[in-house]
C-alpha cells in the first residue's frame, strides 16, 4: 500500500536519538569504515530511514554507525509511520533488493580506471586496488573468451589467430560463485598452457592432457 501523504523527505536529528533494530540480520561491521569515508567525502547521499513511533532504524544501520564513528551531531532521517511488521519487512527488502542488481564489470572497470587516472581515491567508493586489478583481469579474460566464440574473421587486422572458428558457445552461470570459478579456471589454463594462444586451444590442451593421464 502506497501512502498518499509522503511527508517530509528528511529531518536532521541527533544520531544518538535513533535506535538500531535489535533483530537486524544484516552484518555490516566491515562496511562501516568505507561508509564513513564516503560520508566524509560526499555527505549523506541517502537519509537514514526510521520508524516514527519509536525511532527504530529501518534502513541505514551502516550509515548510522558511520555517523557515530565520525561523531556527527546531526544526521538526515526519513521517518515512516508504519507498523512493526512493515518496518521489519522493509528492513529486509532494503538490503535484499539491492543485492539483486549486478554490475557491468567492463563498464565499472573502465570508470574506476578513469577515476584512478584522474587521481581520485576509489577507496571511498568501496573499491580498492585489488578490486580494480581483479575487474581488469576478468575483463581481459572475457574479451579473450569472446574472441574465441565471436566467429569473426580470424585474419582481421590486429588478430594473431590462425584458425577459423566453427562453433560458437555461450556459458550461462547459475550464480556469481560459478562465474568466479570459471574465470579462476581460465587463469589457471593461461598459466599452464602459456604457449597456447586462445582459450579454446588451452581447453583442448587441458582435456587432451587429462585424457592422456587417464590412458584414454
What is the mean pLDDT for each group of 10 consecutive residues in the chain (216 residues)? 57 95 89 91 92 95 95 96 94 84 80 86 82 78 59 42 53 76 82 81 85 78
Sheet with 11-13, strands from edge to edge, namely: 11-13, 75-80, 48-51, 57-59
pLDDT of residue 153: 44
pLDDT of residue 147: 53
Q: Which three cell numbers stand for residue 4?
A: 498518499
pLDDT of residue 168: 57
- What are the extents of the domains in the chain? 11-100, 105-214
Pick the CATH number of 11-100 from 3.30.565.10, 3.90.1530.10, 3.20.20.70, 3.40.50.720: 3.90.1530.10
Q: Which three cell numbers stand for residue 64?
A: 548510522
Model pTM score: 0.57
Amino acid at each position: 500500500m502506497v501512502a498518499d501523504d509522503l511527508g517530509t523527505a528528511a529531518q536532521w536529528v541527533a544520531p544518538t536519538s535513533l535506535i538500531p533494530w535489535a533483530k537486524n540480520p544484516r552484518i555490516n561491521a566491515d562496511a562501516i569504515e568505507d561508509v564513513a569515508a564516503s560520508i566524509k567525502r560526499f555527505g549523506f547521499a541517502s537519509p537514514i530511514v526510521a520508524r516514527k513511533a519509536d525511532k527504530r532504524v529501518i534502513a541505514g544501520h551502516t550509515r548510522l554507525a558511520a555517523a557515530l564513528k565520525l561523531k556527527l551531531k546531526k544526521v538526515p532521517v526519513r521517518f515512516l509511520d508504519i507498523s512493526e511488521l512493515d518496518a521489519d519487512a522493509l528492513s529486509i527488502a532494503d538490503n535484499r533488493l539491492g543485492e539483486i542488481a549486478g554490475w557491468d564489470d567492463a563498464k565499472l572497470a573502465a570508470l574506476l580506471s578513469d577515476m584512478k587516472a584522474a587521481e581520485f581515491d576509489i577507496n571511498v567508493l568501496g573499491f580498492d586496488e585489488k578490486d580494480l586489478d581483479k575487474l581488469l583481469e576478468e575483463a581481459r579474460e572475457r574479451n579473450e573468451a569472446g574472441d574465441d566464440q565471436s566467429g569473426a574473421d580470424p585474419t582481421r587486422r590486429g588478430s594473431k589467430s590462425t584458425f577459423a572458428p566453427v562453433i560458437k558457445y555461450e556459458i550461462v552461470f547459475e550464480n556469481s560463485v560459478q562465474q568466479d570459478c570459471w574465470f579462476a579456471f581460465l587463469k589457471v589454463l593461461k598459466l599452464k598452457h602459456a604457449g597456447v594462444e586462445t582459450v579454446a586451444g588451452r581447453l583442448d590442451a587441458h582435456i587432451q592432457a587429462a585424457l592422456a593421464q587417464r590412458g584414454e
